[in-house]
């Protein structure tokens, strides 16, 4: 079974299994602390169990890295899969229709394939390094917006230090905070928004691995706050800041963040 066929099956399983918990208090019940040192809610655990069960039956990777379970060795496969079983847990639990499953397959530390499915709308974003980025099997491309005062961006700032966010925020035309970083990166790739900036330092490899590849293969640029290449360790307790744009706007965004 190839990666994308397997992802389709896992996403369908997750959507079915979490269905009874979407928009319910039961879905938000905290059942333990996850490997990422944040609370694991019921809906997250149900989704992750579904994916883990599938991966244990199919030889897709040798290591799974997930927000809840952390690093899980698996038999038979090759490479590493980075999983966020429910990206946008708060949205899912409260019934806001913007949450996703995110999977990225990497070999030798390089993400080669990516899959993100919006579990509410069904939109499916995929990418293969050096080959394509697609949404529902149609090619993706970033927007051509070149002016900050005409762009729409998602900007997350530190509660204790809003200066950088406000410096940039006063320059852009529209703010759109959706609450699911993997999908927001895909939205940059699709040209639905022009950029995604996260200053919180909490993005982990499981949050970003798939969305980054989809964004860059669609023509976008992803970097740290200084414009340097962004490198994530294979460790769910370590967070990063990120700037992702359509490329045309990138240097302007970096300038306002300095």
Candidate from 104-113, 144-153, 155-164 with smallest mean pLDDT: 155-164
Determine whether the annotation assigns residue 207 to a binding site: yes
Q: What confidence tier does 76 reach under pLDDT thresholds 50, 70, 90?
A: confident
- 41: pLDDT strictly greater than 80: yes
How much of the chain exceeds pLDDT 90, in percent? 73
Determine whether the annotation assigns residue 255 to a binding site: no
Give the pLDDT confidence of 186-224 residue by residue, as tens digits. Answer: 999 999 999 999 989 999 999 999 999 999 999 999 999
Candidate from 92-96, 115-119, 157-161 with smallest mean pLDDT: 157-161
Mean pLDDT (whole number) for 61-82: 92
Tracing tokens 């949450």 back to the chain, one arrives at 99
Q: What confidence tier does 149 reach under pLDDT thresholds 50, 70, 90?
A: confident
User: What fold, for 148-257?
Assistant: D-Maltodextrin-Binding Protein; domain 2 (3.40.190)
Give the pLDDT confidence of 166-190 residue by residue, as tens digits. Answer: 666 667 788 888 999 999 999 999 9
How far apart, in whole angstroms, are the C-alpha atoms of residue 148 and residue 5? 39
The domain 3-139: what is its CATH number? 3.30.540.10
Where do the DSSP E strands lie in 76-211?
80-87, 100-107, 110-118, 124-128, 132-135, 138-139, 152-156, 174-175, 195-203
Q: What confidence tier does 237 reach under pLDDT thresholds 50, 70, 90?
A: confident
- Scored b (16 or more CB within 10 A) or e, 22-33 reads bbeeebbeeeee
Q: What confidence tier does 161 reach under pLDDT thresholds 50, 70, 90?
A: low
- 160: pLDDT strictly greater than 60: no
Distance of CA 130 to the CA centre of its chain: 19
**Mean pLDDT for all residues in the chain:** 91
Q: What confidence tier does 163 reach under pLDDT thresholds 50, 70, 90?
A: low
Beta bridge partners of 196: 154, 244
Torsion of CA 87, 92, 94, 96, to 10 degrees: 90
Q: Between these two residues, 32 and 235, which has the higher pLDDT value?
A: 235
What residues does each domain of the chain span? 3-139, 148-257
How far apart, in whole angstroms, are the C-alpha atoms of residue 86 and residue 31? 15
Give the pLDDT confidence of 12-38 residue by residue, as tens digits. Answer: 999 999 999 999 988 888 887 777 777
Both structure tokens of 227? 């414009």
Candidate from 105-114, 116-125, 248-257 with smallest mean pLDDT: 248-257
């Amino acid at each position: 079974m190839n990666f994308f066929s397997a992802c389709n099956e896992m996403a369908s399983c997750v959507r079915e299994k979490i269905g009874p918990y979407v928009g319910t208090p039961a879905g938000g019940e905290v059942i333990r602390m996850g490997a990422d040192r944040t609370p694991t809610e019921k809906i997250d655990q149900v989704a992750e169990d579904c994916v883990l069960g599938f991966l244990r039956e199919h030889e897709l990777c040798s290591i799974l890295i997930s927000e809840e379970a952390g690093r899980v060795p698996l038999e038979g496969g090759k490479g590493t899969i980075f999983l966020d079983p429910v990206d946008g847990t708060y949205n899912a639990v409260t019934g806001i229709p913007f949450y996703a499953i995110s999977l990225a397959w990497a070999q030798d530390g390089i993400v080669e394939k990516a899959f993100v499915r919006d579990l509410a709308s069904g939109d499916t974003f995929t990418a293969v390094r050096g080959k394509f980025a697609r949404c529902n099997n149609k090619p993706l491309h970033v927007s051509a917006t070149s002016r900050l005062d005409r762009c729409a961006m998602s900007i997350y700032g530190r509660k204790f230090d809003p200066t950088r966010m406000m410096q940039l925020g006063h320059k852009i035309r529209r703010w759109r905070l959706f609450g699911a970083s993997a999908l927001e990166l895909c939205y940059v790739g699709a040209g639905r928004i022009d950029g995604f900036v996260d200053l919180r330092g909490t993005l982990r490899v499981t949050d970003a691995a798939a969305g980054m590849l989809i964004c860059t293969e669609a023509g976008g640029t992803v970097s740290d706050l200084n414009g340097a290449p962004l490198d994530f360790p294979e460790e769910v307790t370590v967070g990063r800041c990120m700037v992702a744009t359509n490329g045309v706007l990138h240097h302007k965004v970096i300038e306002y963040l300095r």
